[in-house]
């Protein structure tokens, strides 16, 4: 899965999203563009392991099995892969997915590809990392729906084979079947899901890996300010930002009950309607878009007035609010 995504990389969509494909291109040499892109964006790592969360063969093997197994959910029908399908680039194609007992999730399911690169997990950043996310999914009512961790661990222990696989992956631990180790094993699997593309070859120094029009799109992406928020190797996933800088976003998306975003997590008025800036890696392949899944395709995003406004807020985002967002996480 990790190598087949060169079709789609974040920057191809900018031509669609901004609708400026034919605009004037200022003189900047190809190598200057590459230098700027390296500074602002950056190539993907080989895998996303850290000293705290190592990627070992045993953990990845266990984590991959767990990821696709519905038997640990309360109704026996929900696995991680129900909402994060490999064939749909780690998403499910729905605006908002249904979890155990068909409970509706309040937000859109983002891709799990390259997700471990992000500074926090979830649209509101209420999960520390992919390990924490996987652990809490066990008891999330619209996710696996277990009443508590003990019930989830009991299910795991009664399925033949898992106790041994946990013991192998976490050797030396007297009680290896724990919610934390569930998170670490699935996290280790997720930390292998990197999708290097021609864009990474380009950043690695092969200037011809991107066509002229793709390089033009890259230039626009940086000139129009998109990379002010969508930056780093994930082309996003590094800061929080208010959605709808110029106007309340729900007036455009026409949702009846606006999602207050990070405010509901921190209760800080400055976090009202603040969401994580999503990664744009593989974005062409992961509709629908935005935290509420309210925009179903990048083409539609351009055609619809509500998204033109989204585009405008993004284009015209005042610098001071960007700085404020950065201060917020520092
Ligand atoms: C019923 C659907 C569903 C299931 C099952 C599910 N997820 Fe998700 N996942 C979501 C939704 C919806 C979100 C966004 C939640 C939010 O931001 O409030 C999400 C977010 C995530 C994220 C964060 C991505 C990001 O960009 O912040 C990761 C990683 C993830 N899920 C992995 C998993 C793993 C691992 C499992 C299994 C343990 C799992 N998910 C089970 C729907 C699901
Ligand atoms: C001020 C910061 C900021 C700037 C600048 C910005 N964005 Fe965004 N972008 C966001 C945030 C925040 C979201 C998530 C909003 C939400 O869902 O609530 C987002 C979401 C998106 C999405 C949807 C991704 C998904 O998976 O749902 C696309 C596509 C996108 N932006 C493209 C762009 C483009 C193209 C530009 C430049 C024209 C741009 N952005 C500039 C903050 C920004």
Ligand 2 contact via 311 beta carbon (within 6 Å):
yes
Does one domain contain both 231 and 133? no
| pTM score | 0.87
Which residue's CA is minimally distant from atom 13 of ligand 2?
277
Mean pLDDT taken over the chain:
85
β-pair partners for 121: 127
Instruction: Give me the pLDDT at residue 136, please.
Output: 98
d(CA 221, CA 207): 17
Which residue, of 158, 190, 222, is where some domain finishes?
190
* pLDDT reported for residue 243: 72
Q: Do 294 and 288 touch, CB atoms closer than 8 A? A: yes
Scanning the structure block, which residue is given the tokens 């291109």? 25
Q: What is the 3-state secondary structure (H, E, C) of 232-283?
A: CCCCCCCCEEECCCCCCHHHHHCCCCCCCECHHHHCCHHHCCEEECCCCCCH
Is 35 within 8 Å of 108 (Cβ atoms)?
Answer: no
Q: Is residue 37 part of a domain?
A: yes
Helix extents (H) in 159-260: 162-169, 179-190, 198-203, 212-223, 226-229, 249-253
| 199 and 154 housed in the same domain | no
**Tokens at 54, concatenated:** 């190592």
Instruction: Establish if 139 belongs to a structural domain.
Output: yes
Residues 313 and 246: beta-carbon distance below 8 Å: yes
Q: Is the CB of 109 under 6 A from ligand 1?
A: yes
65 and 181 fall within a common domain: yes
| Cα of 206 from ligand 1 centre, angstroms | 35
Q: How far is the CA of 141 from the centre of ligand 2 (A)?
A: 28
Q: How many domains does the chain have?
A: 2
Cα of 233 to ligand 1 centre, how many Å?
Answer: 21
C-alpha 85/C-alpha 286 separation (Å) is 11
3-state secondary structure of 104: strand
Do 224 and 149 lie in a common domain? Answer: no
38 and 109 both lie in a single domain: no
- The torsion angle over the Cα atoms of residues 179, 184, 186 and 189, rounded to 10 degrees, is -170
Residue 291 lies inside a defined structural domain of this protein: yes
Answer yes or no: is the C-beta of 155 below 6 A from any ligand 1 atom: no
Ligand 2 contacts CB of residue 229 (under 6 A):
yes
Contact (CB, 8 A) for 182 and 13 = no
Q: Which ligand is nearest to the CA of 322?
A: 2
CB of 283 closer than 6 angstroms to any ligand 2 atom = yes
Is residue 70 domain-shared with residue 122, that is, in the same domain? yes
296 in a structural domain = yes
The ligand whose atoms approach the alpha carbon of 112 most closely is: 1
Same domain, 202 and 323: yes
- Give CA–CA dist 89/287, Å, rounded: 10
Contact 317 CB / ligand 2 (< 6 Å): yes
Same domain, 133 and 118: yes
Contacts of 239 (CB under 8 A, 6+ apart): 119, 229, 276, 277, 325, 326, 329
179 and 199 within one domain: no
Question: Where among 164, 190, 216 does a domain terminate?
Answer: 190
Query: Is the CB–ligand 2 distance for residue 226 below 6 Å?
Result: yes
In a domain, 10, yes or no: no
- The answer, yes or no, to whether any atom of ligand 1 lies below 6 A from the CB of 281, is no
Element (H, E) at 156: helix 149-158
Buried b / exposed e along 278-298 (16+ C-beta atoms within 10 A): bbbbbbbbbbbbbbbbbbeeb
Q: Is the CB of 177 under 6 A from ligand 1?
A: no
> pLDDT tens digits for 180-201?
999 999 999 999 999 999 999 9
Residues of the chain with pLDDT under 70: 1-26, 244-255, 299-330
CATH classification of the domain holding 240: 1.10.760.10
3-class DSSP state of 85? strand
pLDDT for res 252: 60
Q: What would the pLDDT profile of 270-329 be if each residue is shown by its tens digit?
A: 999 999 999 999 999 999 999 999 998 876 654 443 334 344 333 323 222 333 323 322
Residue 61's domain spans which residues? 57-190
What per-residue confidence (pLDDT) applies to 297?
A: 81
The answer to whether 292 touches 96, Cβ cutoff 8 Å, is yes
Ligand nearest to the CA of 94: 1
Ligand 2 centroid, distance to 174 Cα (angstroms): 46
Cβ–ligand 1 contact at 82 (below 6 Å): yes
Looking at residue 100, the DSSP 8-state letter turns out to be G
Q: Return the ligand number nearest the Cα of 119.
A: 1
CB 150 within 8 A of CB 182: no
Report how far residue 30's alpha carbon sits from residue 34's, in angstroms, rounded to the nearest whole number. 6
320: in domain: yes
Residues 61 and 168 in one domain: yes
Reduced to 3 states, what is the DSSP secondary structure of residue 175?
Answer: coil
170 and 84 share one domain:
yes
Residue at which a domain ends, from 175, 190, 205: 190
**Residue 215 lies inside a defined structural domain of this protein:** yes
| Ligand 1 atom at shortest distance from the alpha carbon of 79 | 5
Evaluate: CB of 315 within 6 angstroms of ligand 2: yes
- Tell me what pLDDT residue 8 has: 42
On whether residue 67 sits in a domain, the answer given is yes
Pocket test for ligand 2, best of 278, 283, 320 (most atoms within 8 A of CB): 278
Question: Are 114 and 227 part of one and the same domain?
Answer: no
């Amino acid at each position: 899965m990790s190598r087949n995504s060169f079709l789609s990389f974040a920057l191809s969509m900018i031509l669609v999203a901004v609708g400026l494909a034919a605009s004037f291109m200022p003189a900047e040499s190809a190598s200057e563009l590459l230098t700027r892109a390296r500074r602002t964006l950056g190539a993907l790592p080989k895998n996303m392991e850290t000293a705290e969360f190592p990627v070992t063969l045993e953990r990845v093997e266990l984590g991959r099995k767990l990821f696709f197994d519905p038997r640990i959910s309360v109704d026996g029908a929900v696995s991680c892969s129900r909402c994060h399908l490999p064939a749909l680039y780690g998403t499910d194609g729905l605006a908002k997915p249904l979890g155990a007992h068909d409970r509706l999730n309040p937000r859109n399911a983002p891709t799990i590809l390259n997700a471990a690169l992000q500074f926090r997990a979830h649209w509101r950043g209420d999960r520390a990392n992919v390990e924490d996310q996987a652990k809490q999914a066990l008891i999330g009512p619209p996710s696996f729906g277990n009443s508590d961790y003990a019930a989830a661990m009991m299910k795991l222990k009664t399925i033949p084979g898992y106790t041994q696989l946990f013991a192998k992956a976490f050797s030396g631990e007297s009680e290896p079947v724990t919610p934390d180790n569930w998170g670490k094993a699935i996290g280790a699997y997720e930390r292998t899901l990197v999708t290097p593309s021609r864009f990474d070859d380009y950043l690695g120094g092969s200037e011809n890996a991107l066509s002229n029009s793709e390089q033009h799109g890259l230039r626009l992406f940086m000139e129009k300010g998109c990379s002010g928020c969508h930056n780093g190797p994930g082309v996003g996933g590094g800061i929080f930002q208010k959605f709808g800088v110029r106007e309340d976003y729900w007036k455009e998306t026409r949702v009846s009950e606006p999602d207050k975003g990070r405010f509901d997590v921190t209760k800080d008025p400055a976090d009202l309607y603040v969401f994580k800036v999503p990664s744009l890696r593989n974005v062409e392949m992961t509709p629908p878009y935005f935290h509420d899944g309210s925009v179903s395709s990048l083409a539609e995003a351009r055609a619809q007035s509500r998204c033109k406004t989204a585009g405008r807020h993004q284009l015209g985002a005042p610098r001071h609010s960007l700085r404020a967002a950065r201060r917020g996480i520092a």
